[in-house]
Amino acid sequence: MSNRKLYLTPILHFGCGNCYASKAIYKHELQDKLNELMREFQRLIEIIDKVKKNIKMAEDEQQMKAKKEVEDWVSMVEVAVTEVEELIVEALKLVINKPRSRSFLSEKDKLDDKLQYVISLQRKGDFEVVAEMIRPKHQSDERVRNEESTVTGGMESTFDKVWSCIKFEENVRIVGVYGMGGVGKTCLLKKIENKLLDKPNYSSKVIWVEVSKDLELERIQDQIGKQIGLLDEMSLEEKASDIFKILSQDKFVLLMDDIWEMIDFHKVGVPFPPNTSNGSKIVFTTRSLEICSLMEADMQVKVGCLAYAEAWELLRRMVGNATLESQPEIREVARAMVKDCHGLPLALVTIGEAMSNEKPSENEWRNKLQVLQRWTSSSFSGSDAELRKDVYYSLKLSYDNLQKDIFKLCLLSCCVYPSDYKITKKELIDYWIGEGLLIGRLGGQSQGYNIIGVLLDACLLEEEDMDYVKFHRLILEMILWITNEVEKEKEKGNSFVCTDAGLTEAPEIENREDVTKVSLMKNQIKKLVTFPSCPRLETLFLNSNQLEMIDDKIFGSMDHLKVLNLSNNFSLTDLPSGISALVSLQHLDLSRTDIKELPKVFMALVNLKCLNLEYTYKLRMIPRQMISNFSKLQVLRLLKCGSSIQAEDSVLYDDGEFLMEELICLKNLIMLSICLTSFQAFQKYWSSHKLQSGTQSLELQSLQHPKSFLVEVTYLNNLRTLCISKCKNLEELKIEFGGDVQNIRESRCFPFLEEVDIENCSKLQELTWLILAPNLKRLRISNCIEMEAIINVGKLNEFPETMTNLIPFSKLKSLRLDNLPNLRSIYWNALPFPDLIKREIDGCGKLQMPPHELNKLKESEIVEEEYLQVNQASLDPSSSSRFL
């Protein structure tokens, strides 16, 4: 390419001389356009020369190869060079021969089109990186040569599910394959492509498109165009039109890898949705479940991490038995490393390649052992951490793609948790409030649950059961790496995390002057006598230890501490008076401890926003006026709080009447969990609409007087869990709608209610109001001997007409019915129960359901005892309408 400049210079000189000799206006316009084209063309020559030089340098000095997109661009430029040179010569001849003005105009249009194409090539040639590492090829017979075959070896069921959608499911037009970074989505898609191409009789066009994070519709068009025989020299709209014409006529399978945002297929030219009559399909991969919805995927397939056996097999196939069996020690450490990777294929491939890349020597196995030991090192600095950073950089793309800073800040704050540790969603939200990340009434449960949803959709967080979430180990390590290294220049402080490490005392902390978060969760610390001075410390997690005693002086130097978590220390009975020094404290979690009293010095904690005292069964003393003194309190959790015997000056004395008075004084309270055990406390609670509107969890226990509760749905609209037990005189819950019934119907009154537990309410006959809880996930009813129907048609007729056609239990996952001897039906019409995965029915002798209906609940855990024994022989076919 370097000789192109010499070739063009005399032509440019000759052309310019003739141009300026002529006075004709068309010649001037043509010559101006010609000069402009040659200037831009020369710039393109300089760009491609530079790109080729960079490629050669990368190939010679770093053993890299040109990226595919760079190779494609070079090919396009080389074709364009010939075309432009021919056009320039043609235009110069036209100037010399003095043709008619119409010829000038036609030639000027050609020059203008080619000029725009040259400029577009210049833009596309602005590459930050032109080359990538070459994956080394090994001769070992034990090494699997095809990466997608290796990585997908443990995900056959996922592959089969996607393949079935392509081949057999006519109604599935679009398949979204999603999962966290590095889990093997691209390899899975490559395996699908290879299987399609390997079928000689397969008539579909198989089109592969790499999308990547920086979405360019023109680049997608170019990739499709090359595979279906289209030229590049067209506008975006022209390409879209031609692509549409071709793909509308033919059966195709479009495989799109690594989608980060919604793609407008109409602008690309892809028929959307694909034509079902000819069996065309679109299959794409993404890290976001939300993208699957935006792309209107008919089937969403999650790719999860490998089980341990599958992960070990992947490493074995990559490294080879010769290496793993060379010494007993290397096999042992390799197994520890596989466990450490938690089934993430990217991590396994990274370590496998590092081991395979070791140069042969007498001590080769020792070198490979060192690779393994470096991987399992907990250090995040120095050369030993470089191996892990390859994985972190890949995972960080999901973090970078989070649209709002608040999402990123909430994620980074989670570095304090251990991997695979089940965290309740409400605990996470409380923590974020304590950190000051969620502010104001809108910064409560709605915003918190929304953020959890965003992190789940991005596969940065995993859902566990219904109420819990957890983090993959490498996601947590990536978060800690971002906090301590990537963003350390922002002076936000470092985090020291040493969880589940068997510690019996607080460890030394390096660079403690810069540490703002410390987590020593899940250790074996019994006595906290000393603690390193961390003057900037804001967050301290000591939960899930074996704490019995905390020295009074520990908190003396923690002026800036905002979050203190002491939960799940079941032997902790007393709190040090030194806790009064924590004047900046905003979040205090004492749940599941054996503390006996809150000392009066607690009054000093006037900045508390979140206080959790749940499951403190031995707490017998909360001084009066203490709760109301916490005027900034936003979250207060009191379920199962307090022993049965209370001190007379405790706010819990006299079954909580004094507590209700203090709660009503809390102007900023937005989230409350509470148990009411007396009718007097119940009346005061029921008189406060503000307390009801902030209640997330409510337990009514041993209330002897009321035969009915009048529930105003306008105020309990944030309720998530409800438990009613031992209310022996309770016959019904009456619903007061009030206001705009149509709006109530649309919100379904209890939009957040997920769990209901009713037990030992012997006179309760129905729970028809449950039809107003569209998101109910868990329902348990036991020992209600007069219960006849869960949804009663007669009671439902008392509801406004707009409510009567609501369908209940569409999201129910767990159903338990125990000792309901008079229960005959759940609902009077057929219900599909699409999400039900667990069902226990025992002691419901009159409830009838044909055995064949059990087959509708695939993959469910079913416990049927007396119900089946009593009814199996005498079931009426019409009884199916009573249950399903």
For domain 403-492, the CATH architecture is Orthogonal Bundle (1.10)
Q: Where are the beta strands (DSSP E) in 232-337?
A: 252-259, 281-286, 299-302
The rounded Cα 728 to chain-centroid distance in angstroms is 44
What digits encode the pLDDT tens for the residues 283-328? 999 988 888 988 888 999 998 888 888 888 887 877 777 777 767 7
pLDDT exceeds cutoff 50 at 877: no
For residue 817, the model assigns a pLDDT of 95
Partnered with residue 350 across adjacent β-strands are none
Predicted pLDDT of residue 175: 93
355: confidence class by pLDDT, cuts 50, 70, 90: low
DSSP 815: E
Question: Which of these ranges, 171-180, 536-545, 567-576, has the smallest mean pLDDT?
Answer: 171-180
Q: What is the pLDDT of residue 853?
A: 41
Determine the pLDDT at residue 354.
Answer: 65
Q: Where are the domains of the chain?
A: 4-133, 156-302, 308-389, 403-492, 501-605, 613-701, 720-884
Q: Which range in 415-424, 728-737, 741-750 is most confidently predicted, on average pLDDT? A: 415-424
Count of other CB atoms within 10 angstroms of residue 362: 6
CA distance 173 to 763: 53
Q: Which carries the bigger pLDDT value, residue 880 or residue 265?
A: 265
Which CATH class, in words, describes the domain spanning 501-605?
Answer: alpha beta
Round to whole Å and give the CA distance between 624 and 619. Answer: 14
CB atoms within 10 A of CB 705: 12
Residues in contact with 820: Cβ distance below 8 Å, sequence separation at least 6, in sequence order: 781, 782, 783, 784, 785, 787, 843, 844, 847
Q: Which of 519, 468, 528 is nearest to 498 (CA)?
A: 519
Q: Distance between CA atoms of 321 and 51, rounded to whole angstroms?
A: 42
Q: Distance (Å, rounded) from C-alpha 81 to C-alpha 118?
A: 9
Neighbours of 848 (CB within 10 A): 20
Question: What's the CA angle centered on 396, arms 395 and 400, to 5 degrees?
Answer: 135
pLDDT at 710 over 80: no
pLDDT, greater one: 281 or 147: 281
Question: Are 156-302 and 403-492 in the same CATH fold?
Answer: no
Above 60 in pLDDT, residue 49? yes
Q: Above pLDDT 90, what percent of the chain? A: 31
Fold of 156-302: Rossmann fold (3.40.50)
Polymer length of the chain? 884
Expressed in percent and rounded to 5, the helix, strand and coil fractions of the chain are: 45, 15, 40
Return the higher-pLDDT residue of 791 and 353.
791
Is the confidence at residue 521, as pLDDT, over 90? Answer: yes
Sign of CA dihedral 365, 371, 372, 374: positive
Beta bridge partners of 756: 722, 779
Could you tell me which residue, 318 or 252, shows the higher pLDDT? Answer: 252
For the cut 50, the answer to whether the pLDDT of residue 248 exceeds it is: yes
* Average pLDDT of every residue of the chain: 80
Instruction: Indicate whether 15 pLDDT > 70.
Output: no
Spell out the SS3 assignment of 382-416. CHHHHHHHHHHHHHHHHHHCCCCHHHHHHHHHHHH
The C-alpha angle with vertex 236 and arms to 230 and 241, in degrees rounded to 5, equals 60
Secondary structure (3-state) at 711: strand
Q: Under a CB-based contact definition with an 8 Å cutoff, are residues 278 and 248 in contact?
A: no
Overall average pLDDT of the 801-825 stretch: 85
**pLDDT tens for each residue of 660-699:** 999 999 999 999 999 998 888 888 998 898 999 899 999 9
Residue 780: per-residue pLDDT = 97
The answer for residues whose C-beta is within 8 angstroms of residue 269's C-beta and 6 or more apart is 221, 224, 239, 240, 241, 242, 243, 244, 247
For residues 700 and 729, is the Cβ–Cβ distance under 8 A?
no
pLDDT of the residue at 569? 97
* Whole-number Å distance between alpha carbons of 121 and 203: 34
Q: How confident is the model at residue 6 (pLDDT cuts 50, 70, 90)?
A: very low
Task: Return the top range by mean pLDDT from 306-310, 626-630, 858-862.
Answer: 626-630
**How many of the other CB atoms lie within 10 Å of CB of 431?**
25
Selected residue with higher pLDDT from 277 and 707: 707
Residue 61 C-alpha from the chain's centroid = 40
pLDDT at 7: 36
Residue scoring higher pLDDT (521 or 734): 521
* 98, pLDDT greater than 60: no
pLDDT confidence tier of residue 707, bands split at 50, 70 and 90: confident
Is the pLDDT at 427 greater than 60? The verdict is yes
The DSSP-derived string for 765-790 is: ---GGGGG-TT--EEEEES-TT--BS
